[in-house]
């Protein structure tokens, strides 16, 4: 800790947030200082849990005075190590988990104002309670927070229809690195009064300030949903199906998720109560979902799209969920992939975005590039096909020693990311950079872009106390 009197700082922080707002016992800190994947482990003298925006600002001011870096943390479900402190013991975690208020829901303006520590599923419930729909949805929605979703610009399964978190936010309240509060909680769809400050904080991964509240967009609730699973012989066939579904269903198409058969088999092996949705083992699978505010006609529309695709030879086996529980069983297969990977062994994660046109060529070339490393690997390729976002993950043998995992990670990152950049893609689509991809970012971003980002960082956080070692 840069502060010469860390105990004094902890005492002053306790004075601000009360005894319930500080965690100093290392046992009780364990769930904060380690990430859920078990990749990163940090050490802190204290986890601070302010109860409101004013307390958060006071905490930031105290840390700034004590030259003590802050690691903002929400639900700690991130995939890139952004919320895990370093091992120096010189940083403190500021957890938003007590910022729990749904401050307002306005069904006429179609907005709600929620605090950063509200869990995503609770935000969805609050919208539902007012007869509206908040569309961000992802596997961790039972524990990730709205603040974390904003700070990582989270994506998930409905981006195709509703966009990512950046598209779903109208206003922000942020505690700045100097302890001032920026109140930008405006529920406006039009506001051209200068630079896009809100946009700066979305995706900033805790490096520019602590988001304490947000105004989020709401949408009409769907009256009907139709969900199908299809098997296909190639990625090209799935892309053709995607185009047809879009052309016929328009905005009713809300999700188009892809997984290879290797990914499905991993889930069937490692996740309880799962079974193969279609006969045979087609090399590619897709989970397609339509939703509409009109209660009737949706299943027919889906059936027609699939019948047309079958006639054209695009898909083989297909199944349409006949009930909500069947739909849930299909989603369980898709959402079980992360857990199945954890159980299978060390995995090198690639969260990449490409123009969907180049996905088939990319996948062929990436398979060859991974094979050329000569490593013992299995590619687990899946993702949000409609967004061009693949989780092109590579599984390594269980029990591989940490040094060998590190070496394999560096070689596989280079093999996959070189190809991504050659195809004008992005090396971080939705999980952020954190500490996982920091070196990769520096390797691939142009000097101009790095300069611009560093200039923004220095302007907002000249003392470099917000989440050092992450992103930049
Ligand atoms: P944390 O993990 O606590 O923090 C993430 C980053 O945000 C850190 O850099 C942290 O410093 C910063 N941060 C957190 N809160 C604040 C704040 N209030 N102010 C400033 N900075 C802050 N992500 C997707 O995008 N799409 C998916 O489909 C998806 N699926 C997932 C499935 C599973 C099973 C799991 C475990 C994770 C998944 N994720 C997915 C990743 C993760 O859930 C998201 O990144 C989520 O947005 C992180 O929220 P969090 O509250 O847990 O943030
Ligand atoms: C998903 O799409 C998540 O399921 C997690 O973004 C991806 O486990 C992963 O790599
Ligand atoms: Zn994803």
> How is 77-94 classified by DSSP, letter by letter?
--SSSTT---TTS--EEE
**CA-proximal residue: ligand 2, atom 6 (nearest):** 156
Element (H, E) at 224: strand 224-232
- Report pLDDT digits (tens) over 77-101: 999 999 999 999 999 999 999 999 9
Q: 89 and 41: one domain?
A: yes
Show Cβ contacts of residue 2 under 8 Å, excluding neighbours closer than 6 positions.
66, 67, 68, 69, 90
Q: 109 and 216: one domain?
A: yes
Q: Domain boundary at 56, 80, 95, which? A: 95
**CA-proximal residue: ligand 1, atom 38 (nearest):** 140
> Domain containing 67 — which CATH number?
3.30.43.10
Q: 112 and 215: one domain?
A: yes
Which ligand does the CA of 349 lie closest to?
Answer: 2
* Top mutation candidate among 78, 160, 177 for ligand 1, by most atoms within 8 Å of CB: 78
Give domain status of residue 464, yes or no.
Answer: no
**CA-proximal residue: ligand 2, atom 8 (nearest):** 338
Q: 366 and 352: one domain?
A: yes
* Top mutation candidate among 35, 345, 383 for ligand 2, by most atoms within 8 Å of CB: 383
Which ligand does the CA of 138 lie closest to?
Answer: 1
Q: 182 and 245: one domain?
A: no
Q: 237 and 210: one domain?
A: no
Ligand 3 centroid, distance to 431 Cα (angstroms): 8
Give domain status of residue 89, yes or no.
Answer: yes
Write out the E strands in 277-426.
Answer: 284-292, 315-320, 347-348, 351-353, 378-384, 389-395
Residue 312 CB coordination number (10 Å) = 12
Q: Tokens standing for 216?
A: 């989020």
Closest atom of ligand 1 relative to the 432 alpha carbon: 45
Q: Tokens standing for 156?
A: 């998930």
Q: Domain boundary at 279, 303, 336, which? A: 336
Alpha carbons 86 and 470: distance in angstroms, whole number: 10
Give domain status of residue 407, yes or no.
Answer: yes
Ligand 3 centroid, distance to 155 Cα (angstroms): 7
Alpha carbons 38 and 395: distance in angstroms, whole number: 16
> Domain containing 262 — which CATH number?
3.30.70.2190
Give domain status of residue 452, yes or no.
Answer: no
Q: 382 and 283: one domain?
A: no
- Roughly what angle, to the nearest 10 degrees, separates helices 324-335 and 337-344? 40
**Contact criterion met (CB below 8 Å) for 207 and 472:** yes
* CB 145 near ligand 1, within 6 Å: yes
User: What are the average pLDDT values for consecutive 10-residue runs of the chain, which has 472 residues?
Assistant: 75 97 97 95 98 98 98 98 97 98 98 98 98 98 98 98 98 98 98 97 98 98 98 97 97 98 98 96 97 94 96 94 97 97 96 98 98 97 98 97 97 98 98 98 98 98 98 97
Q: 178 and 238: one domain?
A: no
Alpha carbons 253 and 385: distance in angstroms, whole number: 13
* CB 140 near ligand 1, within 6 Å: yes
Closest atom of ligand 2 relative to the 393 alpha carbon: 10
**CA-proximal residue: ligand 1, atom 21 (nearest):** 206
* CB 75 near ligand 1, within 6 Å: yes
Give domain status of residue 86, yes or no.
Answer: yes
Q: How many domains does the chain have?
A: 4
Instruction: Identify the pLDDT of residue 7.
Output: 87
Closest atom of ligand 2 relative to the 157 alpha carbon: 2
**CA-proximal residue: ligand 2, atom 5 (nearest):** 338
* CB 50 near ligand 1, within 6 Å: no
Q: By C-alpha distance, which of 117, 116, 153, 128 is closest to 138?
A: 153
Closest atom of ligand 1 relative to the 338 alpha carbon: 34
**Overall pTM > 0.85:** yes
Q: 14 and 88: one domain?
A: yes
Give domain status of residue 172, yes or no.
Answer: yes
Instruction: Name residues contacting ligand 2 (CB within 6 A).
Output: 139, 337-338, 341, 349, 391, 393
Range of the domain at 37: 6-95
Q: 381 and 436: one domain?
A: yes
What stretches of 153-219 show up as alpha helix (H) in DSSP? 159-162, 197-201
Which ligand does the CA of 94 lie closest to?
Answer: 1
> Domain containing 406 — which CATH number?
3.30.70.2740
Which ligand does the CA of 141 lie closest to?
Answer: 1
Ligand 2 centroid, distance to 338 Cα (angstroms): 6
- Report pLDDT digits (tens) over 285-320: 999 999 999 999 999 999 999 999 999 999 999 999
Q: 82 and 112: one domain?
A: no
According to DSSP, the β-strands at 47-48 and 92-95 are parallel
* Top mutation candidate among 31, 77, 115 for ligand 1, by most atoms within 8 Å of CB: 77
**Contact criterion met (CB below 8 Å) for 325 and 199:** no
Give domain status of residue 426, yes or no.
Answer: yes
Q: Domain boundary at 220, 254, 270, which? A: 220
Q: 213 and 269: one domain?
A: no
**CA-proximal residue: ligand 1, atom 49 (nearest):** 148
Closest atom of ligand 1 relative to the 157 alpha carbon: 28
Residue 470's φ and ψ, nearest 5 degrees, are: -115, 150
* CB 151 near ligand 1, within 6 Å: yes
Q: By C-alpha distance, which of 185, 179, 113 is closest to 146?
A: 113
Give domain status of residue 454, yes or no.
Answer: no
Q: Please report where in the chains the tokens 């027609």 appear, as a residue.
A: 304
Residue 177's φ and ψ, nearest 5 degrees, are: -60, -20
């Amino acid at each position: 800790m840069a502060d010469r009197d860390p105990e004094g700082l902890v005492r002053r922080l306790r004075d601000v947030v009360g005894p319930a707002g500080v965690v100093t016992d290392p046992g009780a800190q364990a769930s904060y200082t380690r990430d859920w994947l078990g990749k990163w482990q940090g050490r802190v003298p204290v986890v601070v849990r302010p109860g409101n925006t004013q307390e958060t600002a006071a905490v930031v001011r105290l840390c700034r005075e004590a030259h003590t870096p802050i690691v903002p943390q929400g639900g700690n479900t991130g995939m890139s190590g952004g919320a895990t402190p370093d091992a120096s013991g010189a940083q403190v975690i500021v957890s938003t988990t007590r910022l729990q208020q749904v401050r307002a829901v306005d069904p006429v303006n179609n907005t709600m104002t929620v605090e950063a520590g509200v869990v995503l599923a609770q935000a969805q419930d609050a919208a539902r309670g007012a007869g509206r729909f908040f569309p961000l949805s992802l596997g961790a929605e039972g524990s990730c927070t709205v603040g974390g979703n904003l700070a990582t610009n989270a994506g998930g399964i409905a981006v195709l229809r509703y966009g990512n978190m950046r598209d779903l936010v109208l206003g922000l309240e942020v505690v700045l690195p100097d302890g001032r509060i920026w109140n930008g909680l405006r529920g406006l769809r039009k506001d051209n009064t200068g630079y896009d400050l809100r946009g700066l904080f979305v995706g900033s991964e805790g490096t520019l300030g602590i988001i304490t509240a947000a105004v989020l967009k709401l949408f009409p609730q769907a009256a009907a949903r139709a969900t199908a699973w299809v098997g296909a012989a190639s990625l090209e066939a799935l892309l053709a199906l995607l185009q047809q579904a879009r052309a016929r269903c328009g905005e009713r198409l809300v999700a188009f998720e892809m997984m290879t058969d290797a990914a499905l088999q991993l889930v069937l092996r490692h996740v309880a109560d799962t079974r193969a949705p279609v006969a045979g083992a087609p090399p590619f699978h897709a989970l397609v979902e339509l939703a509409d505010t009109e209660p009737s006609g949706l299943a027919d529309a889906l059936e027609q799209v699939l019948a047309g695709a079958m006639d054209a030879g695009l898909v083989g086996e297909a199944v349409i969920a006949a009930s909500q529980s069947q739909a849930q069983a299909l989603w369980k297969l898709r959402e079980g992939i992360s857990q199945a990977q954890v159980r299978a062994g060390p995995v090198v994660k690639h969260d990449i975005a490409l123009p969907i046109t180049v996905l088939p060529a990319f996948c062929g070339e990436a398979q060859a590039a991974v094979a050329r490393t000569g490593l013992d690997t299995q590619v687990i390729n899946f993702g949000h096909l409609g967004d061009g976002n693949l989780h092109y993950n590579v599984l390594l043998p269980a029990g591989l020693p940490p040094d060998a995992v590190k070496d394999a990670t560096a070689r596989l990152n280079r093999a996959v990311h070189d190809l991504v950049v050659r195809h004008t893609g992005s090396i971080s689509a939705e999980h952020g950079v954190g500490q996982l991809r920091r070196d990769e970012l520096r390797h691939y971003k142009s000097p101009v872009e790095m300069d611009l980002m560093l200039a923004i960082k220095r302007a907002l956080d000249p003392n470099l106390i917000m989440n050092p070692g992450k992103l930049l």
